[in-house]
Structure 1
């Protein structure tokens, strides 16, 4: 705040355990300023085998590779967020279809998720602009 930084896209750090507290503090601060953005559609896919299967059903319906997968973010790897977003971008047609046709996917974004010690409302499925 002293430096007037109010919008943060990404933070690159090494994997030292002392950074965990700083990242938690930043997440809470950004959430308080309503600027925290999360990529929850990828978390949805990887939260269970049934959800991965549901994702792949929609992939097939969109005439894409049935073995489709989107990589998860790895907090200790600086390029993992990029790779996750790059993979998710390929399947935005699938996510769009799931937004309108998959009740489980829709319901996921209406739930509250516990993010460490902070309750966060998930704001909805990803939109084209996201």
Structure 2
């Protein structure tokens, strides 16, 4: 009897680890993206790229039971829930709650960059005069 209980427990745990979990809802995302990039990399990239825009802001990412959350510790900051669904990364993006259009644009640019980024690449734009603008 004890062996049956252990066997059933192992099968249950094995089955649960293969399930794809979705994050708890905390409002409607401003945008939903998908990516072939791993959820952990996307979360780390988001935290890093958002922080590059304003190094004084406290950005972080944390592992959750359903995936990862990248966020700004400020009350009006951006955040993203990153998880796996159907073998792809899904990113629920919550834009910063501010009227600062430059901040919003930089956040969106960094977010889109992280969906297809190569490791250690930086978002950039080449100006007409030949200079490279990182943000």
TM-score by length of 2: 0.29
- Of structures 1 and 2, the larger Rg is shown by 2
Larger helix fraction of residues = 1
